[in-house]
């Protein structure tokens, strides 16, 4: 599942491509979206803005409609110039939004819904989101408070809980814990205030580093591989994720892994750098 940095970059790209433009064509294979389009017509509306909140993308149209999408495991948004060949087959298209200069296509997206400002606030799974790590208003102190409010959870589980902070996924979970020297299977209740603060500070640091923008006002945005180390070689860009049995980049101890939480997501850690 794409994590918050990927979703942020996708929303930023969509915003640069579509914001301020008038929709000239709207197409979808999803019945609920089709019904709204039939009743109210998305064509002729202006795309006001596109933004990310955690792992969700919100596309705001004039006259109060919001398209809410979640990529889950296999979804993606692409942008094309009119007439440009799509990189995925048309059978994978779920939503297509065209303007005079841009065609935005959502492929294999399983969650796509039209909302109003009122209904989106009530939407299960969205209404309970914690603060988005990449929001300009993100306050690590609030993240610490929300994290410590779940003392019964293991740290790795709590970091994935989107009501704590929105955006962390399985890669960052393992990488954040390693960078902080905290065993991911410790209970949150065992954390000191300082340790919880370190987790939130590193979370913000890693996320910001992975949405670095060098394209200014151009549509294309950062597309590099996710990186949590400062090493230049692509194969050395992560500390522990998917490195079971390989030597820790800090101490040389073999990395371990185990399933964690009700979703049985695999967590990676160094037993020496992250003692339990």
Measured at the alpha carbon of residue 274, what is the angle toward residues 271 and 276, in degrees to the nearest 5?
80
pLDDT digits (tens, 9 = 90+) for 9-38: 999 999 999 999 999 999 999 999 999 999
Give me 11's structure tokens: 């929303």
Query: Exposed/middle/buried for 86, CB within 10 Å: 0-12, 13-18, 19+?
Result: middle
Does the pLDDT at position 213 exceed 90? no
- The pLDDT of residue 224 is 58
As a CATH number, domain 140-269 is: 1.10.8.50
What is the rounded CA–CA span in Å between residue 169 and residue 186?
A: 18
How is the chain split into domains, by residue range? 4-122, 140-269
Specify the pTM.
Answer: 0.90
Same fold, 4-122 and 140-269: no
Catalytic residues: 2-3, 55, 265
What percentage of the chain has pLDDT greater than the value 70? 95
pLDDT digits (tens, 9 = 90+) for 154-212: 999 999 999 999 999 999 999 999 999 999 999 999 999 999 999 999 999 999 999 97
Residue labelled with tokens 């969205």: 126
**Considering the domain 4-122, what is its CATH architecture?**
Alpha-Beta Barrel (3.20)
Give me 170's structure tokens: 């399985």
Q: Nearest Cα to 267, choosing from 139, 163, 204, 177? A: 177
């Amino acid at each position: 599942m794409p994590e918050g940095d990927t979703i942020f970059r996708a929303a930023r790209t969509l915003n640069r491509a579509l914001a301020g433009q008038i929709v000239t064509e709207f197409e979808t294979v999803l019945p609920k979206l089709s019904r709204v389009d039939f009743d109210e017509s998305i064509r002729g509306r202006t795309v006001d803005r596109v933004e990310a909140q955690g792992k969700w993308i919100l596309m705001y149209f004039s006259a109060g409609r919001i398209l809410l999408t979640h990529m889950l495991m296999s979804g993606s948004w692409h942008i094309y110039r009119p007439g440009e060949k799509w990189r995925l087959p048309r059978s994978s298209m779920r939503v297509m939004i065209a303007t005079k200069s841009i065609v935005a296509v959502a492929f294999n997206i399983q969650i796509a819904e039209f909302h109003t400002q009122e209904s989106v606030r009530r939407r299960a799974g969205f209404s309970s989101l914690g603060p988005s790590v990449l929001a300009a208003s993100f306050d690590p102190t609030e993240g610490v408070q929300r994290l410590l409010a779940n003392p019964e959870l293991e740290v790795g589980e709590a970091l994935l809980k989107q009501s704590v902070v929105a955006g962390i996924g399985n890669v960052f979970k393992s990488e954040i814990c390693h960078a902080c020297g905290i065993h991911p299977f410790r209970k949150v209740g065992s954390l000191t205030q300082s340790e919880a603060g370190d987790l939130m500070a590193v979370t913000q640091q890693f996320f910001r580093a992975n949405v670095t923008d060098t394209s200014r006002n151009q549509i294309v945005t950062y597309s590099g591989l996710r990186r949590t180390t400062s090493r230049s070689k692509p194969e050395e860009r992560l500390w522990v994720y998917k490195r079971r049995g390989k030597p820790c980049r800090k101490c040389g101890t073999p990395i371990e892994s185990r399933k964690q939480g009700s979703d049985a997501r695999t967590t990676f850690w160094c037993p020496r750098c992250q003692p339990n």
